[in-house]
Amino acid sequence: MIILENLTKSFATPNGRKYVAKNINLTIPQGKAMALLGRNGAGKSTMLQMISGNMNPDSGQILTRGAVSFPVGFAGSFHRDLTGAQNARFVARIYGVDTDAMLDFVADFAALGGHLHMPVRSYSSGMRSRLAFGISMALDFDTYLVDEVTSVGDSAFRRKSAAVFKARMKKSSAIVVTHSLIEVRNLCNAGAVLENGEVTYFDDVEEAIAKHVSNMKRSK
């Protein structure tokens, strides 16, 4: 379970402060794969960064129960001069899991071939996302934070990603950011819509999609 209490986050812009969160109070139930929907620039990725603990809010707090993943698809914490394999082993040691088992899973899942043993600085953004998703899915978390990574790669890789994700959801929760409503329907059973610093939660993912689509049409 994740609880946002009086959460506020904003950034200074030439046109004044841009609010990602404006005194948000929200409880995200355990056992849900929740889509976080919103227009470009609404602050969805920033919300994941705050929930993961990688970014502090201006005020308020985030309470978490159980282990929460780093944002899957966010590879900013990788050491660019180390290989993908070395980064995977390093993360395994941090989380206290078998390094060989981690590397075997990542090698099979991410399908990077020889690139797995090349420096991460040589990777494309898609390759880094595949590495990040593989490393995260190799670890057991109570809540997974997923940012666009299920749209990376060809159709076969996306199917493999969805299958692994659904397997994890049998005993875990997730917050998923994606612009693909097809992916939302395929992966999620609840949703929340972020608009102008406010969040509306829907236990029915179709209601969340309808609200998001309505917001997008109103902005045109």
Give pLDDT tens digits for 11-24. Answer: 999 988 999 999 99
What are the residue ranges of helices labelled H in 1-124? 44-52, 84-95, 99-110
Query: Which domain covers residue 5, as residue numbers?
Result: 1-67+141-153+171-220
Q: Do both 105 and 193 map to the same domain? A: no
Which residues touch 166 (CB under 8 Å, ≥6 apart)? 187
Per-residue model confidence as pLDDT tens digits over 88-109:
999 999 999 999 999 999 999 9
What CA–CA distance (Å, rounded) separates 43 from 20? 5
Q: Do both 54 and 100 map to the same domain? A: no
Which residues touch 96 (CB under 8 Å, ≥6 apart)? none
Q: Which CATH number do you get for residue 184?
A: 3.40.50.300
Residue 57 lies in a domain: yes
Q: Do both 60 and 89 map to the same domain? A: no
Q: Do both 59 and 146 map to the same domain? A: yes
What confidence tier does 128 reach under pLDDT thresholds 50, 70, 90? confident
From 115, 139, 163, the end of a domain falls on: 139
Which residue would you say has higher pLDDT here, 1 or 199? 199
Residue 200 lies in a domain: yes
pLDDT of 162 over the 70 cut: yes
Q: Do both 145 and 180 map to the same domain? A: yes
Residue 128 lies in a domain: yes
Token pair of 136, please? 């995260």
Residue 164 lies in a domain: no
Per-residue model confidence as pLDDT tens digits over 43-79:
998 999 999 998 999 999 999 989 998 887 655 568 8
What CA–CA distance (Å, rounded) separates 53 from 31? 21
Q: Do both 48 and 147 map to the same domain? A: yes
The overall average pLDDT reported for the chain is 90
Q: Do both 41 and 97 map to the same domain? A: no
Q: Do both 135 and 149 map to the same domain? A: no
pTM exceeding the 0.75 threshold for the entire prediction: yes
Instruction: Please count the structural domains in the chain.
Output: 2
